Amino acid sequence: MKPISKSSKLADVCYDIRGPVLEKARQMEEEGQKIIKLNIGNLAVFGFDPPDEIVQDMIRNLSAAAGYTDSKGLFAPRKAVVHYTQEKQIPGVSVDDVYLGNGASELIVMALNALLDTGDEVLVPAPDYPLWTAAVSLSGGRPVHYICDEQADWTPDLADIRSKITANTKAIVVINPNNPTGALYPPELLREILEIARQHQLIVFADEIYDKTLYDGATHTSIASLAEDVLCVTFNGLSKNYRSCGYRAGWMVVSGPKKHARDYIEGLNMLASMRLCANTPGQLAIQTALGGYQSIKDLVAPGGRLARQRDLATELLNQIPGVSVVKPKAALYMFPRLDPKIYPIADDQQFAYELLAEEKVLIVQGTGFNWATPDHFRLVFLPNSDDLADAIGRIARFLDHYRKR
């Protein structure tokens, strides 16, 4: 029989967060081994329960939510998103500009598919949340990575962005707050990114899914709130701020000069129609979540569980010789550096395998986030303090052996 091959469209598509190292961890678990998972931002499995009112709302609505809805979603939750954009001072958004999706992920793929022709370029941060790079490739586009500067709290390097713009550049992706670095961008920097977008007529894709997961009393500015004259598509959802990844509830908001983007918006509407609608219970939960008590505040406040775990992980990692990490200002992740002079890693996926095999700790290698050199990894600081300290102790022991090889 002729072998069945995958589509050539997938040739450059890569999503290492759920890649081969996770597969190995699964096998080990099936053999009865206990793995400490620092690999994925899945809050609920670490005891960060969603707000009870969302769960109750899901249960209550289930029997009445069995039908399809409008492709963009139900009116009331979209109206709730409009209200949210008003709070974030994003100008000129109406219900018609809001699309609900099965998580932000679905909408990210949709927004790129609707825009890109073969060879169109999209500026994507390095490191990035790798769905962005993968979705640009899948849509026929070419991801062009701009550097975020570790020395400058992982903020985007504006000169690098400028140097990478060509006649084919269509859009720039801004992930703020950032996964995997935990960076939070100040408004002045966002204004400079907008100025570049304005000059080169780029669409801004703003992934703001961690916009309420902010430490040290920080505030978040939506990039779309700073420009009425640049087309912005802003993504958000319940997965992180409301600890409800499994409910698959997200939204996308188009703002800025929409009349110049009629054709693109038609494309978005077409793709939204083709997948009929987002799951209806998830849509209804959006309204309840946005209007309810914002309990994420208690987790990120000083002394709150997420804030404590962030502090602990930062401190313990920075104590390991040859390891340095920028303290996250937001989100659930950190992206520690392994000094290449001390840890000459040639293949960081192999490094992640070996850490897993020797110490039963699962991380994701830095190159999985489109970071060019094998000298970083991403750590999720969601396990409770005891497990986190245990895991980082194991990483330290592994690195000690690694250094002495």
Q: Can you tell me the distance from the alpha carbon of 251 to that of 247, in angstroms, rounded to the nearest whole number?
A: 13
DSSP class of 209: T
Q: Is 47 left (phi over 0), alpha (psi -120 to 50) or beta?
A: left
C-alpha atoms less than 13 angstroms from C-alpha of 403 in its C-beta half-sphere: 15
Among 93, 165, 245, 320, binds ligand PLP (CB under 6 A): 245
Secondary structure (3-state) at 291: helix
Contact 169, 143 (CB under 8 A): no
103 binds ligand PLP (CB under 6 A): yes
Work out whether 175 is an interface residue with ligand PLP (CB under 6 A): yes
Q: Which is nearer to ligand PLP, 245 or 399 (CB)?
A: 245
Options 57, 207, 211, 359; binder of ligand PLP; rule CB under 6 A = 207
Query: Of 99-107, 224-232, 276-284, 369-377, which segment contacts ligand PLP by CB under 6 A?
Result: 99-107
Q: Is there binding between residue 253 and ligand PLP (CB under 6 A)?
A: no
Q: Of the listed pieces 53-61, 73-81, 100-108, 286-294, which binds ligand PLP according to CB under 6 A? A: 100-108
Site string for ligand PLP, 282-311 (x = CB under 6 A): ------------------------------
List the one residue from 110, 196, 209, 271 that touches ligand PLP (CB under 6 A).
209
Please tell me whether residue 104 binds ligand PLP under the rule CB under 6 A: yes
> Which residue in the block uniquely carries the two structure tokens 């990692």?
317
Angle at CA 200, nearest 5°, toward 196 and 204? 65
Q: Is 328 in the site for ligand PLP (CB under 6 A)?
A: no
Segment 112 to 151, residues that bind ligand PLP, using CB under 6 A: 129
Selected binder of ligand PLP within 41, 281, 328, 366 (CB under 6 A): 41
Q: Site for ligand PLP (CB under 6 A): which residue of 39, 239, 314, 367?
A: 239
Residues 6+ apart with CB under 8 A from 262: none
Largest CA distance in the chain: 62
**219-238 mask for ligand PLP (x: CB under 6 A)?**
------------------x-
Tell whether residue 154 is a contact of ligand PLP (CB under 6 A).
Answer: no
Shortest distance in whole angstroms from residue 326 CB to ligand PLP = 17
User: Closest-CB residue for ligand PLP?
Assistant: 103
**Tokens 């809805």 found at:** 69
Sorted by sequence, the CB contacts under 8 Å of residue 386 that are 6+ apart come out as none
**Nearer CB in complex with ligand PLP: 139/402:** 139
Q: Which stretch binds ligand PLP (CB under 6 A): 5-13, 103-111, 342-350, 376-384?
A: 103-111
**Alpha carbon of residue 276 to chain centroid:** 25
Q: Is 181 in the site for ligand PLP (CB under 6 A)?
A: no
Q: How many residues bind ligand PLP (CB under 6 A)?
A: 13
Tokens of 135: 């979705």
Please tell me the chain's helix, strand, coil percentages from 3-state DSSP, rounded to the nearest 5.
45, 15, 40
Residue 379, both tokens: 């750590």
Peptide bond into 127 cis (omega under 30): yes
- By three-state DSSP, how is residue 1 classified? coil
CB distance 50 to 243 below 8 Å: yes
Residues binding ligand PLP (CB under 6 A): 41, 103-105, 129, 175, 179, 207, 209, 237, 239, 245, 250
